[in-house]
A and B are shown apart, each in its own frame.
Chain A
Amino acid sequence: MESPGLRTALRIWVAVVLLLLFAPIVLIIVYAFGPSVVQTWPLRGFTWHWFAVAWHDQAVRQAFLLSVKVGVLAAIIAVVLGSAVSYALHNFRFFGREGVSFLLVLPIALPGVITGVALNNFFGFTNITLGVLTIVIGHATFCIVIVYNNLIARLRRTPRSLGEASADLGARGWQTQLYIMFPQVATALVSGALLAFALSFDEVIVTVFTAGANFTLPLWIFGQLRLGQQLPEVNAVVTIVILLTLIPVLLAARIAGAGAVSPTARAAAVEDTGRL
């Protein structure tokens, strides 16, 4: 129904928005190769120097290892709890079912600083020392919904008749789950885990309140940015962080369809079949 003029206008709109979405990300990567200590544009030359500096920086290494550790642990917890709740909500109708799915979304629907201050206050109240454990607890809490979104979208798309056919052919309950249902949802589980890792690896708003004296990589970056120190090295580290958040996301979109990387279950269902 759109006139050719309107179509062209929309096309230009989309192109401009895409350009604006990607320009800052490309820019930061370009900056990482700039030789100057002072951050000015245009850059004068090209160097790998700051990546070498970051590689040999012990603080960066420790922060990186902590971020990986936290990301893996948070992803494991999110997958276990997220898949349990997805199965329950998909297979059973019970009072308060809507409430449970609302509860899952709450950590991302409520402003991030609230989750942060609430956990900080809670750990203080219960005398739990802030450390790796508390970072993981915070991250896992808002990662669960990512796994849930992925899995519930896949479960809804999986025909019930598959399980029924399996039972008719004599498979026991666990056999149906293991040999029929699990392969159907396996890629959704993997993509959920990858996204949970990416989300955790990059999180800073809640982490500030739950880390105590520990530094994850985003906390290290935030600290340097706040003080305006070692900015060329920060450029290199930030570039690495961009890659490490985007690789799992691209991987998830590749193995489980574009819908898997959606932040909402509804959109995930729309694009579940779209492959890169």
Chain B
Amino acid sequence: MGVTTPAGAATAAPAGSAPGGLWSRISAVLWRRPWTRATLLLTPPLAWFVLIYIASLVVLLVTAFWTTNPFTTNIEQTWTLSNFAQILGTPAYRTIILRTVGMAAGVTVVDAIIAIPFAYYMARIARPRTRTLLFVCVLLPLWASYLAKVYAWLLIFTHDGVLNWALGKVGIGSLNLIYTNSAVFIVFCYIWLPYMIIPVYAALERIPGSQIEASQDLGGRTLRTMWSVILPLALPGIVAGSIFTFSLTLGDYITPILVGGGSSVLIGNVIDSNIGIANNLPLAAAMAMVPIAIMACYLLAARALGAFREI
């Protein structure tokens, strides 16, 4: 037995190390050359993003400078600024752009006002178990079907809906909110609220208790401490949340279609109808440059305020 063991080991070792040897050689090469590892890992995802997503955005930008033949609706690849001139020169388009940006800003402000006290309670008063429960309770509506949420508000606002039924019960009479800008505004505030609460919570949660105590030691009362210490420290979180609320509102065209009337046309609706019915891709592309430009400025400002670390 004593003799066969080394022999067995000797025969087993090469057999076992053949695939292991290849593996270990590959992993040794990869270990010695971290750059090879990094390149192997990064190439597929970067290729996906650059070849599909960035390429799409570049082609979109280029398309914005082309035009369509009004008779054949074919795209003519001649450079022109006419799409931008049309957008900036048409009062209706200017109104739509202002309405969209105003709506996005309003939704952001309202959501921040609702979210800050909520997030404050989550981060600084609730016990850990309640906190986790609240965290999940905020995120479930975020993940629940988008269309279901918009449709639910359609059922609430509609003439024979829940809202008018409730208002009738308390004797106020009925409100005709459905198919108005107000309806679109309320639905946006509702749908995007969780996107504001979560980053604000994450920012508030990180404020060290010692800083709040220091403020109190220096004579800061509750309101003063909140205004001068907590709010500035929560600001990057608020800005991070506002990226979502602002951008999601800028890019939505479904909610205006479902609960907004003919008057609540947003930038997204102009893009949508120029791709579908009007079949004028260059104009849609030029219109798409408006939210891209707005978001580019917004993201630069947000970056300066340190909001990217909060995403």
Contact = CB atoms under 8 A, between A and B. Distances in A.
B48 to A, nearest CB: 6
Given A25-B141, A122-B60, A266 B309 contact: yes
A44 to B, nearest CB: 12
Given A81-B45, A263-B198, A117 B285 contact: yes
Q: Is the interface of A mostly helix, strand, loop or mixed?
A: helix
Contact of B310 (A174, A195, A266): A266
Interface stretch (A51-59, A68-76, A179-187, A239-247): A239-247
B42 A226 contact: no
Contacts of A202: 143, 145-147
A32 to B, nearest CB: 10
Contacts of B46: 85, 100, 103
A1 to B, nearest CB: 6
Given A1-B216, A174-B23, A204-B254, A238 B147 contact: yes
Nearest to A114: B288
Interface size range on B against A:
35 or more
B114 interface: yes
B165 A39 contact: no
Interface in A117-157: 117-122, 124-125, 137, 140-141, 144
B233 interface: no
A205 B252 contact: yes
A22 B141 CA distance: 7
A25 B152 contact: yes
A202 B146 CA distance: 7
Interface residues of A, number: 103
Contacts of A174: 23, 27
Contacts of A102: 308
Contacts of B225: 1
A103 B155 contact: no
A161 interface: no
B67 interface: no
A249 B147 CA distance: 17
Contacts of A27: 152, 155-156, 162
Interface string A181-217: 0000000000000010011001111001100000000
Contacts of A88: 38, 41-42, 45
B148 A41 contact: no
Interface string B111-128: 000100110111011001
B137 interface: yes
A122 to B, nearest CB: 4
Given A21-B137, A112-B252, A263-B244, A271 B132 contact: yes
Contacts of B137: 18, 21-22
Interface of A: 1-3, 6-7, 10-11, 13-14, 17-18, 20-22, 24-25, 27-28, 31, 38-42, 80-82, 84-85, 87-88, 91-92, 94, 100, 102-115, 117-122, 124-125, 137, 140-141, 144, 172-174, 195, 198-199, 202-205, 208-209, 218, 221-222, 225-226, 234, 238-239, 241-242, 245-246, 249-250, 253, 258-259, 261-267, 269-271, 274-276
18 contacts: A18-B137, A88-B41, A113-B252, A113-B268, A118-B57, A121-B284, A141-B48, A141-B53, A174-B23, A174-B27, A195-B143, A205-B253, A225-B151, A234-B151, A242-B144, A263-B244, A266-B240, A274-B131
